[in-house]
Structure 1
Amino acid sequence: MANSADDQKFCLREVLDTFRLCLSEDKEVSMEHYVAGWRGLVKFLNSLGSVFTFISKDAVNKIQILVGFLNGESGPRYVTIQSMVKYELDNGLVDLNKRGSHPESGCRTLLRLHRALKWLEIFLERLRTSSEDSKTSVMCADAYNVSLAQHHPWVIRKAAGVAFCVLPGRPTFMEVMNVGTPAQVVAMLGEALPLISEVYQITEELYAQNNLLDLP
């Protein structure tokens, strides 16, 4: 069956491989692999129970929108994040002022994932460098407060704060990575995070150059 439990299981190696494929030689970011990387990160969020539902549900929704663009008649324009930004800006498709029923642009949709990626990058880096008895709730809340929180309304920030309090301990996080011992997890995070960081940085600079970082 295509939807077996194994398919739904998170594996850090898969995410590492996907983000490695994300960047071309000239540092273009592949939309297909970016979306695939996010599918893996959603599995990670879901493997921790309902704590992260408020982020994973939104991420799934954004992934579906981007896949729709990739599979649509303008699909070739969405092959890389760079080509998407150029195409949407050149054709006035970016919703600079959110208007009622105006369809979501690829630029705005991806920006939501981009912001969440920063939070996960910071959190996983803290997880990587922390000691076994470090509080994951504190690490996660700190990462959230310096990244995603500034883009969320008060009610979501409040819910997030409560959710982080019930996070499992660090050993559980090491287990859900599905790559072996804690030492192996730390080593693989050491490989994966620079790749995720580079994809984030390239996207950040592209959006900054085009004044897209504050899309409503």
Structure 2
Amino acid sequence: MADTWLVVGLGNPGDRYAKTRHNVGQMVADELAARLRATFGRHPRAQARVAEGRSVPGGPKLVVAKSNGYMNTSGGPVAQLADYYGVDNERVIVVHDELDLPFDTLKIKQGGGHGGHNGLRDIVSALGGGDFVRVRVGIGRPPGRQDAADYVLREFAPPEREHLAILVQEAADAVELIAADGVLVAQQKVHAPSDSAAAGGAATPAPRAGTKGRD
């Protein structure tokens, strides 16, 4: 479908993992479904739950999905949904946690490898390539010598939780921007430096698409 985008929020199933760093992609999926006023339901042809709708009347259709399985088996459900809705890889948006970005940072990327992320690894394999869009939600590196695998399966720290809701909203804004205006426009807005940083002053977080800057 020419106006349809498949948006996949990565994570693991169940209450045990719901609030962990590895599940921030599914947090964004929940935010998008709420904006669409849609409820997740079991898909008849894929091992996933989906919520469908349009952010604005006449706008692109978003199929927001969460796999029923674990992170490292994300590929099968994504491929099943892409085939069912007739969506090319370039119109698949995967929202995922990113260790290589500081917490409270967003980046949009199209194409590339998996960077060691097991969910992305399985999706690249299932789709036969990595030319889908990624909304990378920064969670930062683990402190000290903490193992990365243990770190991503822990809940966000109290100081992080203060900004987590805003970060999730901004990631949802980024998804809507990509679907409405394309990847390049979304990148220009989301990646734009702040005015003070561009002028050589101290860098402050830039207002992201569809949001106001923080006080």
Normalised-by-shorter TM-score class:
under 0.3
Structure with bigger strand share is 2
Rg comparison, structure with higher value: 1
TM-score scaled to structure 1, two decimals? 0.25
Task: Between the two structures, name the one with larger relative contact order (CA 8 Å, sep ≥ 6).
Answer: 1
Structure with bigger helix share is 1
